[in-house]
Amino acid sequence: MEPITLTTERLFLRPFGPQDTHPVHAACQDPDIQRWTVIPSPYRLTDAELFTTKLCPAGWQDDSAYGFALILRETGALVGALGIDRRSLPGTYEVGYWSTKEHRGHGYVTEAVLGAARWVFSSLGADRLEWRAEIGNVASRAVVQRAGFRLEGDQRSGLLNKGVRRDVWTAALLPSDLGLAGSHPYVPERHAPRPGGTPESPG
């Protein structure tokens, strides 16, 4: 896919480029970003250069992942990163993100998640946008809850981070959660089975 830029009320979501290498390197010295994401630790300038100049452009080129730098429209400052990854199930994508320490608490990432979600549903034909984060990452969970994601439970050993498998929280957003139409019909399960295994009767 040809890289694109999305615009929200306060942000530009644009593809990463070489100009972002040093800001990304500086941001990723934050111990919280290194703790809760799968970036290398320690995070070197060569890691940032690989991310901004090779990995992100390659994701756009082969339609496997779409990485966005979150740029504050007013000042041009980098306030975070957001990635959309294609999952194996057709029409399903996963969102991940981090924010710079000095720009937290202003709702920028929630704004970016919602802007990216509308793009995923309207332009990529997605029917489901998933989120996963290591259990304990309450800041990341708060972002998706504010964006309207529904928490769906826990996955044991659902994440490999720096050689250690971790349990994760999971959540998802559907087009209908934003008042949008999906690409395929969706029939939610409304009648849960009774303990004996017999579905409840309608009505």
DSSP 20-65: GHHHHHHHTTSHHHHHHS-S-SS--HHHHHHIIIIIHHHHHHHTSE
Assigned CATH for 6-178? 3.40.630.30
At 90, is the secondary structure helix, strand, or coil?
Answer: coil
pLDDT at 201: 47
pLDDT at 189: 85
How distant, in Å, are the alpha carbons of 19, 68, 107, 118, 147 from that of 75? 15, 17, 16, 25, 24
pLDDT at 157: 98
The crossing angle, in degrees rounded to 10, of helices 138-146 and 108-123 is 60
- Write the pLDDT tens digit of every residue in 177-194: 999 999 999 999 886 566
pLDDT at 193: 63
CA 34 to CA 36: how far, in whole Å? 6
CA 148 to CA 173: how far, in whole Å? 7
pLDDT at 190: 81
Q: Omega before 175 cis (within 30°)?
A: no
pLDDT at 194: 62
Low-confidence ranges of the chain (pLDDT < 50): 201, 203
pLDDT at 147: 98
pLDDT at 197: 59
pLDDT at 102: 96
pLDDT at 18: 97
